[in-house]
Amino acid sequence: MTDVGPPSPTSRWIFVPAAVVVVLALGWSAFWWFAAQRAEATIATWTEQEARHGRIHTCASRTVGGYPFRFEVRCTQPAMELTGQQPPQVVRAKDAFAVAQVYQPGLIIAEITGPVTIGGSGQPPEWQADWQLAQASLRGVPGRPERLSVVIERLVFDQAGSSSERIGSADHLELHVRRSPGATDDKPVVEFAGNVTGAVTRVGPLGGRPIEAEINGVLRGVSDLRRKPMPERLREWQAAGGRLEVTKLRIKQGDAVAVAAGSVGLTPVGRPDGAVDITMAGFDSLVREVISERGGGRIQLGLLAGLAFLGRPAEIDGKRGIAMTLRINDGTAFLGPIPLGRLDPLY
């Protein structure tokens, strides 16, 4: 009979790697489960805060998944009811999906599946929007977002109901908003940039013609995004030295192009105050083309002649144009030396 002795120290070490893997897997699973519970709690807290601000968010069903390396939240048939509106409005979508990587929890990427409808609570939709892709990314920590980006491809916007009608569309729409790196809590600064290509609207005399536009600017003095009456928000904005600064606004439609830059704020009594420099070229031929298609146009031609008289010679993209300044002094608007009228206080 052969005696079997105790296992050698070497053979015991064979099981150590497997044991380590098992322990790590169990630890990771516990960490993921705990983080998923925290995500659920954060969503619940955020939903309660939104409800207090007049925005009630609901889902037909909500699931959390993505194990082991990311967190995924899916909301089917999401809806947001704006109870502060009169009458209350409801925004509905088909599906919403958000994901964050375990190693980068401060970056959330979300997609919304259309169509999205807008209408009164308990009433048929009045408006509808749909797209090929709608994606958003949010960077930051809860309660202190740092950057928001939104991209929409192949957007269409329709009037719903019995008189269904296409209002507008766009091939590509992009918006980026971020907290300025040098901003402080007592001096908030928000930077924004956006662009749209292939935008077509059915509204106005120049409707039906594709538009390209881009904008860059800075918004100063917005301390929070909590829901509040607009007059109250504007008063707070003015008291904080609020200012909307557009560093570049460019609009192009066919051969016509216009660029603008300036800043606008409010006086203590709520009247707009600021100035915008505008340069444009090619709009004379565009308006004449519209007039020849639709008839009439004496007022439009007279306006073009007046603008040419008031404007300064300028050039855009190698085209001859005119430049002028739109000034608003304590609510009174001037185009060059010509007064255009006085604006009412905003609060």
pLDDT averaged per 10 residues, the chain (length 347)? 56 68 80 77 78 87 86 92 84 93 82 93 90 92 80 94 84 94 78 96 74 95 74 90 95 90 95 94 66 53 58 84 90 84 90
What residues have CB less than 8 Å from 109, skipping those under 6 apart?
98, 99, 100, 135, 136, 137
CA 36 – CA 65 distance, rounded (Å): 8
pLDDT of residue 288: 60
The pLDDT score that the predictor gives to residue 329 is 94
Return the pLDDT at 90: 93
pLDDT computed for residue 146 by the predictor: 85
Domain boundaries, the chain: 19-179
Which pLDDT score, from 0 to 100, does residue 178 have?
Answer: 92
Of 247, 277, 249, 245, nearest to 264 by C-alpha is: 245
Q: How far apart are CA 121 and CA 44, in angstroms?
A: 23
pLDDT for residue 43? 76
Rounded Cα gap, residues 209 and 290, in angstroms: 10
In this prediction, residue 9 carries a pLDDT of 58
Task: For residues 111 and 193, give the distance between their C-alpha atoms in angstroms, rounded to a whole number.
Answer: 20
Task: Let me know how long the chain is.
Answer: 347
pLDDT at res. 183:
74
Q: Beta strands 338-342 and 243-253: pairing type?
A: unpaired
CA pair distance 143, 105, nearest whole angstrom = 14
Name the CA radius of gyration of the chain, rounded: 28
Interatomic CA distance for residues 98 and 248, integer angstroms: 33
- Say how far apart CA 287 and CA 294 lie, in whole Å: 10
pLDDT at 205 (0 to 100): 61
Residue 322 and residue 304 in contact, taking contact as beta carbons nearer than 8 Å:
no
